[in-house]
Chains A and B, each alone.
Chain A
Amino acid sequence: MNSKLSTRDFSMLISLLIIWIIFAILSPTFVSARNLSILMIEFSIIAVLALGMLLIILPGHIDLSVGSGVGLFGGIASVLVFQYDWNATLAMCCSSILAVIVWWLMGTLVVKQKIPAFIITLGGLLIFKGCFWLVIQNSTIPVVKGGNTNLYSLLTTYYLPATAGYILCFIIVACVTYRKIINRRNRRAYGFEVESREISFMKVFVTAQGALLFVLISNQYKGIPLSVVILGMLALFVHILTEHTRFGRYLYAIGSNEKAAFISGIPVERLVIMSFAIMGGIVALTGFLQTAYAGASTTTIGNLMELDAIAACVIGGTSLKGGRGNVMGVLFGSLIMVSLLNGMTLLAISPEIKFITRGTVLTLAVWMDIRLSNK
């Protein structure tokens, strides 16, 4: 891992701040505790999907079908719960398993039949959209029956109690500090460059401040949203997966130079199929979050989410050619993307302009990616 802050990380942070400041000036409600809480839930939904997308882009593939998949698998769970009276947990489990199988099949087609992922998932986009509308019969299917709650509906409506928030914050800061100390000790032992003690301290300090601020603001409203905790766990999982396991190393190697990876004895095909299968699970999870957030499954759920997820990855420094990208970047990219969407909604900007802005941001991000990777 590189210890230096690159220009890119820095420019991400700056642009995020600029976006926030502009929206806060134009519409002070943007920084209200309530809106920030909403923003965090929307952020966690997009970021979960973008983390899955990272695992697809790292080995040099792409997935355009996830938006439709989000609608479909959220819809399947809703139908099972609302129309067939299934237990919410069981419904979500079944829907997830189905999603994993479908994505595993798509991955298999990509690597075994050598059909570009772009085409397979473009087909998937249309097929899943059709299946989705069939499943919900073009109607609105709530995630829970009349006014009750279940695990499905709680995904985006449950908040951690205030004390739990503080405890969580403390644990995270303790872990980050511990990791930093261990990391510094190891790097010094290995004879690698170690950043100055002050920089390390500042990084931990800023992280701690940020975490505390986040908890304070959340607690001013209802507490930390459950979806943020889910995102946190997934982000930790994907971080460990990409940085500290063979699987992750291999994904980077495949994305950078697939032939060399193959000759080096990496089971390229199996790994790509596996990352697609993981994506399937993540698509289903995003489907539940997004559907729960809307309260019901309707035909528009998941629309264009694939593009938001790809944009979040690219803004966060993931190379579309594969081989470069990390969890922190993707989280930042998602936050930028969501802040834009949320802020524009608050300002009641018309859908036309929203589309144009989303498209412009995506294009700019890819352009920047190409500029930076040529350097």
Chain B
Amino acid sequence: METLNFTAKNIVKKFPGVIALGGVNFELRAGEIHSICGENGAGKSTLIKVLSGIHAHGSYEGNLYLGDKPLILSSLKDAEQAGITVIYQELALIEDMTVAENIFLGREPTHNGIIDWHRIYNEAQQLLNQFHIDIDPTTRLGDLGVGQQQLVEIVKALGKKSRILILDEPTSALTEKEVEVLLSIVKNLRTQGISCVYISHKLEEVFDISDRITIIRDGQSITTLEAKKTNRDEVIHYMVGREIKDLFPRKKTSPGETLLKVSDLCVHDEEDKAALHDISLEVKAGEVLGIGGLMGSGRSELLLHIFGAWGKRRSGTVEIHGEPLQNHTPTQSIQKGLVMVSEDRKMYGLILEKDIGFNLSLSSLNSFSNMFLIDSAREFVANDKYFKSLRVKAPNLESIVENLSGGNQQKVVIGKALMTDPKIVFLDEPTRGIDVGAKLEVYELMNQLTEKGYAIIMISSELPELLGMSDRIMMLCEGRVGGTFVNENINQQQLMAAAMEAK
């Protein structure tokens, strides 16, 4: 099957009250890797949904073309039949099946109605070999890392004779090593004539693999650049429409008293296996403690446990203002002034089908309630204050959160946390999947908070972010402290070494 050019012309997509796309042009040439860059809310997700048939033909203006022929997509299935497949951030695979079963899911070859297992495993092996992917097709998918699962997902699409892949933030959950493997495989696809649309916030990756880059801003395609003839600053300039000089504007404040102190913490997980070992930390008012580590190092689990939402403590203490916390729930933590912004905002942060106001005030309804009733006037005033100060881009407080972009959703989650009037704020990957402009807003917000005497613990997978925003950094490795650093004269190599090997 030959790969054809895939073109979108003058796409206009409107939602009630919002114009998501206001005339986007995009051309994917056969066999190229074409990145789409844009801030959160620029319209990337909507464009993907148009390209992949999720927004059916007719629900938007403009046309799609495959080669010279108009292409009418009414569903994901139509797109798949046309050879277009989207690889999502959230994987659509079944953990309890083997790699080969997943690759052939839904189109198992049969012989007289009986599944031909021999063929499944042979052909899966061939596919994996063809794309130089070193995974055993008989492995249970759940036993693979996220990065390898992502590769399986790609192979699954290619097995269906897809000629056009749309990769939506494929690396956001991967370690650096896994990213390298993924990128080299995507580059390899190009030599086999397969075209890729690549969406990522990580500009290094974009420059590493793209032939061309299209930039989208405020629902419009601004320009398409040859990757070789442009540079990072130019791309950022087009994305935000302004220049960003300093990516990490951390303002140091002199730390005050110790607000949170954790000593010798040992925690077991739900299956009673030891998960965290002998962890001690403390954080002072006005200070940002960064926590880093690889996937599975126990970063999120540590904060979730301190917050009262995960694991069973075997020994050690957690003290807020010198007051010990044990067997506590998130409700009690919030009352004590500790609040957490989770890593996965859709899963743990938001009530997606409700409006912004509902979400913002959810954790602090106590303070707007009389004995029994919610005082809607006071609630509105508080909601409105955060809605405006966080500059959430939406028509009003009654906009449904599900329709907001990632960055704006993140603002709502942070607003909800801040409204509880906390002293200590846990931010787990606060800038994951959000663009440069929104990142900067989050960083500035962190500065404002530390100036007001809040203590912040921030988890991040991105070392530059840890180095840029933390006063002190703790690296975790396999549930143990790999090293604690004062953020002066340290570099990424030192941090990485600590993440790889616990003391």
Contact = CB atoms under 8 A, between A and B. Distances in A.
Does A pair with B? yes
Interface of A: 186, 190-193, 240, 244-246, 249-250, 252-253, 256-257, 259-267, 323-324
Given A244-B376, A246-B369, A264-B416, 14 more contacts: A192-B396, A193-B396, A245-B369, A249-B374, A252-B358, A253-B358, A260-B348, A260-B349, A260-B350, A263-B348, A265-B363, A266-B331, A267-B331, A323-B351
Contacts of A261: 351, 362
Q: Which of A263, A267, A323 has the most CB of B within 10 A?
A: A263
A257 B398 contact: no
B354 A256 contact: yes
A3 to B, nearest CB: 9
Contacts of B398: 192-193
B347 interface: yes
A191 B395 CA distance: 10
A260 B330 CA distance: 11
B309 interface: yes
Given A246-B365, A267-B329, A190 B372 contact: no
B396 A191 contact: yes
Contact of A253 (B329, B334, B362): B362
A323 B401 CA distance: 14
Q: Which of A240, A256, A262, A265 has the most CB of B within 10 A?
A: A265
Contact of A190 (B309, B353, B380): B380
B309 A262 contact: yes
B159 to A, nearest CB: 28
B352 A264 contact: no
Contacts of A260: 347-351
Contacts of B376: 186, 244
A323 B335 CA distance: 25
B397 interface: yes
Contacts of A265: 329-331, 333-335, 339, 363, 420
A256 B330 contact: no
18 contacts: A190-B397, A192-B396, A244-B373, A245-B369, A245-B374, A256-B353, A257-B350, A259-B348, A260-B350, A261-B351, A262-B309, A263-B307, A263-B309, A263-B348, A264-B416, A266-B331, A266-B363, A323-B351
Contact of B362 (A240, A259, A264): A264
Nearest to B366: A246
B351 A253 contact: yes
Contacts of A190: 380, 384, 396-397
Closest 6 CB pairs of A and B: A265-B334, A246-B365, A256-B351, A264-B363, A265-B331, A265-B330
B352 A256 contact: yes
A267 B362 CA distance: 12
A167 to B, nearest CB: 26
B129 to A, nearest CB: 40
B398 to A, nearest CB: 6
B353 A263 contact: no
A105 B363 CA distance: 28
Contacts of B351: 252-253, 256-257, 260-261, 323
Interface string B290-334: 000000000000000001010000000000000000000111011
Contacts of A324: 353
A285 B291 CA distance: 55
Contact of B330 (A191, A193, A245, A262): A262
A192 B397 contact: yes
Interface in B396-421: 396-398, 416, 420
Nearest to B332: A265
B377 interface: yes
A375 to B, nearest CB: 12
A260 to B, nearest CB: 5
B304 to A, nearest CB: 8
Nearest to A240: B373
Nearest to B342: A263
Nearest to B338: A265
B8 interface: no
Contacts, number: 85
Contacts of B329: 265, 267
Nearest to B345: A260
A266 B331 CA distance: 6
A179 to B, nearest CB: 12
A240 B377 CA distance: 16
A267 B329 CA distance: 8
Contacts of B265: none
A257 B309 contact: no
A249 B362 contact: yes
Nearest to A252: B354
Given A190-B384, A191-B396, A244 B347 contact: no
A190 B329 CA distance: 34
A264 B362 CA distance: 7
Contacts of B372: 245
Nearest to B361: A249
B340 interface: yes
Contacts of B309: 262-263
A245 B365 CA distance: 9
Nearest to A321: B353
Contacts of A323: 351, 353-354
Contacts of B347: 257, 259-260
Interface in B348-396: 348-354, 358, 362-363, 365-366, 369, 372-374, 376-377, 380, 384, 396
A170 B52 CA distance: 57
A30 to B, nearest CB: 39
Nearest to B369: A246
A176 B394 CA distance: 31
Contacts of B396: 190-193
A190 B395 CA distance: 12
B358 A249 contact: yes
A263 B333 CA distance: 10
Contacts of A259: 347-348
A259 B335 CA distance: 19
A263 B352 contact: no
Interface string B157-185: 00000000000000000000000000000
B330 A264 contact: yes
Interface string B26-41: 0000000000000000
Nearest to A253: B351
Contact of B377 (A186, A256, A257, A263): A186
B434 to A, nearest CB: 18
A160 to B, nearest CB: 28
Nearest to A248: B374
A5 B309 CA distance: 40
B270 to A, nearest CB: 12
A112 to B, nearest CB: 14
A194 B353 CA distance: 21
Nearest to A257: B351
A240 B372 CA distance: 10
Contacts of B366: 246
B346 to A, nearest CB: 8
A193 B399 CA distance: 11
A324 B339 CA distance: 27
A262 B377 CA distance: 26
A266 B353 contact: no
A264 B348 CA distance: 8
A317 to B, nearest CB: 13
A260 B413 CA distance: 10
B330 A257 contact: no
A246 B348 CA distance: 20
B20 to A, nearest CB: 18
B340 A263 contact: yes
Nearest to A324: B353
Nearest to B329: A267
